[in-house]
Amino acid sequence: MKNIKACRACGLLLLLLISPGARSEQGDPGSVFCAWAQQVVAGTELAANVVTITDYEAFVRSKPGSSPLTVQQYWSNPLPAEGGMARVVSCKMKTAERINAAHRTATGQEAPVARGDGSCDKVGREMLAALLNRIPRADLAIAAERLRVDPEETTFIGPMWLRPWPFQPLQRDEAGLLHLQSRALYVPFAWWIPMPDRFKGTYYCHLIAPDYLEAVLRGEVPPDS
């Protein structure tokens, strides 16, 4: 089983998802998951740089950047075993409006490079679709019709995004359906918000980790583990 430090999203899934150009301080392709999430959330083809943080307090203090486009990434809530697989990946990203403003300032070009904001649950839907397209039906321990991707839980201040912790990405309902959950922090890039500009135009997501989701779908890990 992959340990929490090595778990940087399944490589084959990333080959299906990530646009070229994303860079990570670790240098391994699997560590750029949040660069793909940024593309989905902002509707952009720009490839963000990725900073992967391994300390919770450092991640809480971290901020994404818009010039150059940089996202913060944190893997957490490991399975209860030594070196257990991470169940959650958290991405700190920028909104489309913030990306477009930074691009205009840097290049002088008015044409937007980000088409508009998606959502954390859109990231989850695309991740699940990619896995279901890749895993043979005979290898699925959970039928696709028993899966649901819930709308993101949206928050607007940091403490609400962080609590309760650790984030739980899966929940089974009374009918036995398995729900993929996500939690967002959204701060518009707007002049009237009474906070420094560095805090504006952000979109944060807590998401199910791709390796963990694949292991659950294949029956290698129980969803209530």
Domain region containing 75: 11-217
Helix count (H) and strand count (E) of the chain?
7, 11
4 found inside a domain: no
1 found inside a domain: no
153 found inside a domain: yes
The count of structural domains within the chain is 1
The whole-model pTM stands at: 0.87
> Of 3-7, 49-53, 104-108, which has the strongest mean pLDDT?
49-53
20 found inside a domain: yes
150 pLDDT band (50/70/90 cuts)? Answer: very high
pLDDT value of position 31: 76
176 found inside a domain: yes
pLDDT value of position 53: 95
225 found inside a domain: no
More confident residue, 90 or 10: 90
207 found inside a domain: yes
User: Residue 151 pLDDT > 50, yes or no?
Assistant: yes
Strand partners, 86: 78
206 found inside a domain: yes
More confident residue, 134 or 196: 134
pLDDT value of position 179: 98
Which distant-in-sequence residues (6+ apart) come within 8 Å of 111 by Cβ?
Answer: none
pLDDT value of position 105: 83
